[in-house]
Structure 1
Amino acid sequence: MPYLTVNGANIYYEEHGQGAQTIVFAHGLLWSGQMYEAQVAFFKQYYRCITFDFRAQGRSQATDSGYDMDTLAADALALIKQLVGKPVHFVGLSMGGFVGMRLAIHHREWLLSLSLLETSADPEPKQNLLKYKVLPKIARWLGMAVVAPQAMHIMFGQTFLTDPHRAEQRAEMRRRLLQNDRINIGKAINGVFSRQGVYQ
């Protein structure tokens, strides 16, 4: 399995396809680069596609620290420099978008384009902080099986959640959520919900 050591963390990544230009895909909280498998299956016909897992998610190392968005952006930049060595198209969903915006502000010379999906330039709204603050504790003491249903309702719409024809897909999404380490995932959760706005 391919790993890259960046800023003291062993980061898991995958490469697919070939092309003169590269797309780097950055996933959302509680997921991994695997969430982009459908997009990679299409774009690898035309581009070199790279997915990676943020710290403590997917197959990447859980470090003691380094979960703030600036450090995660530094991880992504180091990965781009080491694997590609030239500007890339960057796609970021939610947390991946928080990272992408920081790259665009501070290291725009490394981006050909930036695609942002379901993300925000703002800090987490104050009304959300209390309920999200307990998530790491729930995961740690009760396990991801308790967190997964709540996460599914936050991340997916009612059409997807109630469509009988997509039951198998829902089961796969739940399985992936359950793969998160119940102790270390709290570090990633806290990093996301304690983030500052990109303009601060």
Structure 2
Amino acid sequence: MPIININGTNIHYIDEGSGAETVVFSHGLLMNGGMFAAQMAALKGRYRCIAFDHRGQGKSAVTDDGYDMETLTEDAAGLIEALSLAPCHFVGLSMGGFVGMRLATRRPELLRSLTLIETSAEPEEKANVPRYRMLNFVARWFGLNIVAGQVMPIMFGQTFLNDSDRAEEKARWRQSIVSNDRIGITRAVKGVVDRASVADEIKQIDMPVLIIVGEEDVATVPEKSEKMHAAIAGSKLVRIDRAGHSSTIEAPQDVNRALEQFLDGVAVSDAADTEEANPA
């Protein structure tokens, strides 16, 4: 179980595969790096794949503070630098996307490309804030089991939740969510709810960008991905049918296909740029 100390915090990460380039995966709120298992399995034959757990979540340490998006971005940058991964392909889902956008605008030298999944450049919707704060309060004082029934339809689309053939998988992820440390996860939720907008910043992003969103995502609805796509010049948008906020789990083959095509395109573009710069 690899652990690395970044910014005074013990960060857990998964390290699989090998290759000249690295893909770094940054998970969503309530989850952990394991939500990218299918993507790592698909890519590890050609890339080194790193998936890390944000502080307070998964197997990373619970800290007293540092759950704001700016500090989480510093954590991600520190991990990339400490493991000598730059420039890497950064894949961020939901909260991981909040981090990815900040890296791309503030530390662009660390990234070769950026993939944003089920995320938004905007602050949390005002209409959602009271509900999320109440769920967070209940989870903090009475446990995550109490709120799991209300959280699951936010984290997953109805197709996945209603598929009887995937009942065991659904139960496993429900257990994963409720197994989070109550203190760490409620601090992480506050960091997400209180996050600032980066909608103006992302217009500066100058690297290959892929945006993926599930058509059934109710946490960050597809319209938010459409706005990011319009703001980031040259970005590619893929909408996935029958998937919600955890599309890497719900529709892994569709996500893998989009991600592999995107990374292949980045490689082709890099090769063309090299040939143009060094003609025979």
Corresponding residue number in structure 1 for 2:142? 142
Q: TM-score, normalised by structure 1?
A: 0.97
Q: Secondary structure at the match of 2:23?
A: strand
Residues in 2 aligned to 1:139 and 1:120: alpha-carbon distance in whole angstroms: 24
Pick which of 44-53 and 131-140 moved more: 131-140
CA distance in 2, matches of 1:134, 1:184: 16
Give the match for residue 167 of structure 1. 167
Tell me which stretches of 4 or more aligned residues in structure 1 moved more than 3 Å.
Answer: none
Percent of pairs with identical residues: 55
Equivalent residue, structure 2, for 1:18: 18
Q: Distance in 2 between matches of 1:184 and 1:108?
A: 29
Give CA-to-partner distance per residue, 1:75-129, whole Å, 9 cap, x none.
0000000112420000000000000000000011110000000100011011111
In 2, distance between residues paired with 1:167 and 1:84? 40
Question: Would the alpha carbon gap of residues 85 and 27 (structure 1) be closer, same or farther in structure 2, given more than 3 Å must change?
Answer: closer
Contact kept in structure 2, 1:135 and 1:186, CA below 8 Å: no
Query: Larger deviation: 190-199 or 140-149?
Result: 140-149
**Which protein has the larger Cα radius of gyration, Structure 1 or Structure 2?**
2
Shift of residue 157 of structure 1? Answer: 1.1
CA RMSD of aligned residues (A): 1.0
Aligned to 1:117: 117
Q: Which has the higher contact order (CA 8 A, sep 6+)?
A: 1
Once the two structures are TM-superposed, the CA of residue 41 in structure 1 deviates from its matched residue by 0.7
Give the secondary-structure state (helix, strand or coil) at the position aligned to 2:18.
Answer: coil
Other-structure match for 2:183: 183
Aligned equivalents of 1:83, 1:37: Cα separation in 2: 20
- Give the distance between the partners of 1:19 and 1:148, measured in 2 at CA: 39
My pick for the range that moved more, 143-152 or 168-177, is: 143-152
| Bigger mean CA deviation after superposition, 90-99 or 126-135 | 126-135
- The aligned counterpart of 2:72 is 72
Question: Could you tell me how far apart the structure 2 residues matched to 1:65 and 1:188 are?
Answer: 9
Give the aligned length. Answer: 200
Q: What runs of 5+ residues in structure 2 fail to find an aligned partner?
A: 202-280
The answer to whether the Cα contact below 8 Å between 2:90 and 2:113 also exists between their aligned partners in 1 is yes
Deviations 1:152-182 (A, max 9, x none): 1001111111111110110111111121012
Letter in 2 for 1:47: Y
Q: Is the 8 A contact 1:139 1:183 kept in 2?
A: no
Deviation of the 1:9 alpha carbon: 0.7
Aligned partners of 2:21 and 2:47 also within 8 Å: yes
